Every structure is written in structure tokens, then in C-alpha cells.
Structure 1
Amino acid sequence: MLSLTDRDAVTAALTDPTIDPDLRALIGLRVWQVDTDRRRPLGEILQIVAVQPGDTSEAIHAAVGFPITYDQADQPGFEWMNDHGSWFELAYVLTDDFGMLVFVADHPDTNPTLLFNCHGVADRRTASTTD
């Protein structure tokens, strides 16, 4: 589990070769897009959480601050979701000027309910067998 709330943590994640390169690219892109006012601490604008294979529901809920790993969870709904192939990106707008991005690994060992919910929203097309 990654929980990034400041620029130092983001820098550490972006330079950590053990973190999936696709995730590092997504984190770098989103921080670059959102962190436009360098006078404010990043943690006042954005939190990034990466749910990885093996993370428990309890750990996910603790990092996010509310339950997101079961149906009808008592949570604010995500504003939008992007399917990046190996990662799903859930965006939560929590206040007028603070948001959270939750990246969810598309991996068989990722929390099954959260992964199921991501796949349920994703608009993946499969190759036709008649092509």
C-alpha cells in the first residue's frame, strides 16, 4: 500500500525502482497536473493511495479514511474512474479544494470486492472471436 500526502513521498515513489513503472508514470502525471500552486503543501490539495495485491480491507480503509471495499460501502462515491489497463484510477472529490486518487492494481491478488467493483465500471472491450 502506498499513501502519498507530500512532495517528498511522491519523489520517493517516483524514484523507487521496485514500484510498478506504470503506477509511477500515473502518479507523476497526476501530481504534475494537480500540483500547480507550489506555495501550498501537496497534502492540502491531494492524497494518492495505491491499493496493491495483498492489501487487506482494513489497511485500505485506514489509508483512504472510509470503507471502499464492499458493496454499498458508506463512502462518498468516486467522481470518475479511469481504466489504465494494469491500474484503475478512482477520483474522489472530498472538499472544494481537496481530492483523493485511489489507484487499484488489476491483479488477481488485489482485494476481490474492490477489483470486482472496478471491473464492473470499466468499459473493456474484448477481441471478437470471429475477427
Structure 2
Amino acid sequence: MTTLADVGGALADTNLDVDLRALLGLRAWQLYVLRGLSGGDHLRMFVVQGGDTAEVINTALGFDITGDRAEPPSYTWMEDHGLWFEIFYGGQGSLVTRVFVENGPATELGISYLCLSHFWTADDEQGG
């Protein structure tokens, strides 16, 4: 999604998870209203759902976030929203990219691992 119309379409799509729609609406409001971004060249929002393949994900993003040729993680920050992870890429001029990743068993393994490993560290595994 790169325009307010794209976000509006997602918000109106009753097939999308209600928590995802609320999160998309919040982030769009923050970026368009509070920060004054106009979309297009400044804002990109992507949704990764269960069943999306590494090829589909990487093609949509324009870089390899998952799969055999995945680049080292370079995101600015990541948040866990329960059923959705939010990956933020910023600081590259005025371009802001947000990737919303479903936290579910059908989510592509590489991007799922990227998100889960960010929050579940080796110390957590050892009980520390």
C-alpha cells in the first residue's frame, strides 16, 4: 500500500483480520496526519500473510528479507502485536516502510523466524 486510497481499501476489506485493520488504520493516521507523509514516494506498507511464499514476499518488498538469498536484517525496529509483527524500515531519506507479518503457523518460515528470534533470545531459551 502506498496511498491513502490503498489503506482505505484495506480498512474496508472485511476479509482482513480486524486487529490488522486497526493496526493499519493507526499507523496510516500517525504517518499521514501526525507526520504529514503523502504516501507514494514516502510510504510503503506491506502485509505478509500465511501462505505467502518467499518469492512473493521478496518481490513485493523489492529486496530479499527471506529465503535463500535473504539479506542480513537491517530493520530499524520491530514490535510484537500478538497476532501480528510490525517491522519498520526508516531513516533512508524520507522513505518509510512498514511490514506487517502474521504470527501464525502458515507464515513463511524465514520471515517468521526473523520475527520470533527478535523477541525470543538465547537467554529466554535457557530460562535466563
Deviation at 1:74, TM superposition (A): 2.4
C-alpha displacement at 1:116, in angstroms? 1.2
Q: 1:21 aligns with which of 14, 18, 33?
A: 18
Percentage identity across aligned positions? Answer: 40
Q: 1:14 to 1:45 in 2, by over 3 A?
A: same
Note the residue ranges of structure 1 that are not aligned, 5 or more in a row: 127-131
Aligned partner of 1:110 among 107, 113, 126:
107
> Is residue 94–residue 100 contact of structure 1 (8 Å, CA) maintained in 2?
no
The 5 A counterparts of 1:26-41 are 26-36=23-33, 41=38
SS in 1 for 2:40: helix
AA aligned opposite 2:75: F
Q: Which amino acid aligns with 1:93?
A: G
Residue 86 of structure 2 contacts residue 101 of structure 2 at CA under 8 Å; is this kept in 1?
Answer: yes
8 Å CA contact 2:32–2:38 kept in 1: the answer is: no
CA distance in 2, matches of 1:19, 1:56: 18
1:99 aligns to what? 96
Aligned residues: 121
Secondary structure at 2:117's aligned position in 1? helix
Residue 73 in structure 1 maps to residue 94 in structure 2? no
Distance 1:76 1:43 in 2: 24
Query: How far is the alpha carbon of 1:93 from its aligned partner?
Result: 1.5
Query: How far has the Cα of 1:77 moved from its partner?
Result: 0.5
Deviates more, 1:20-29 or 1:69-78: 69-78
Tell me by how many angstroms 1:69 deviates: 1.0
Structure 2 unmatched ranges of 5 or more: none
Q: Which residue matches 1:50?
A: 47
My pick for the range that moved more, 102-111 or 64-73, is 64-73
**Cα distance, 1:113 vs. partner?**
1.3
Question: Using a 3 Å threshold, how does the CA distance of structure 1 residues 15 and 23 change in structure 2: closer, same or farther?
Answer: same
Contact 1:81 1:89 in 2 (8 A): yes
Are the equivalent residues in 1 in contact too, given 2:65–2:111 (CA < 8 A)? yes
TM-score by length of 2: 0.85
Shift of 1:76: 6.3
- Report the CA distance between 1:107 and its aligned residue: 0.7
